[in-house]
Amino acid sequence: MAHRSVEKKPLLTPIRGADYPLPADRPAHSALACDKFTASFCALPGWESALAQCLDQSGECAQR
């Protein structure tokens, strides 16, 4: 799992995916395959640059 330090940390309590009630079983590991999207459109940015684009100076999601 990727981790990145932010100035204002949210109040979160980590849980296992298996402990969260869902209507259907989910795989233990499911990585997103972007091959078809990349072939049709463009490469997706890395999570760090996408996060930087999403967050403004205060650490809140930017309004668009």
- pLDDT of 60 over the 70 cut: no
Q: How many domains does the chain have?
A: 1
Residue 55 lies in a domain: yes
* pLDDT tens per residue across span 28-41: 777 778 899 899 99
Residue 62 lies in a domain: yes
Range of the domain at 55: 37-64
- Please, are residues 56 and 62 in contact by the beta-carbon 8 Å criterion? yes
Residue 56 lies in a domain: yes
Residue 32 lies in a domain: no
The reported pTM is 0.36
Residue 19 lies in a domain: no
- pLDDT of 25 over the 70 cut: yes
Looking at the DSSP assignment, which residues form a beta bridge with residue 55? Answer: 61
- The Cα–Cα gap between 34 and 45 comes to 11
Residue 50 lies in a domain: yes
Residue 60 lies in a domain: yes
Residue 5 lies in a domain: no
Q: Tokens 């972007």, residue?
A: 34
Q: Which amino acid is at 8?
A: K
The per-residue pLDDT for 16 is 85
- The Cα–Cα gap between 20 and 51 comes to 25
The per-residue pLDDT for 64 is 46
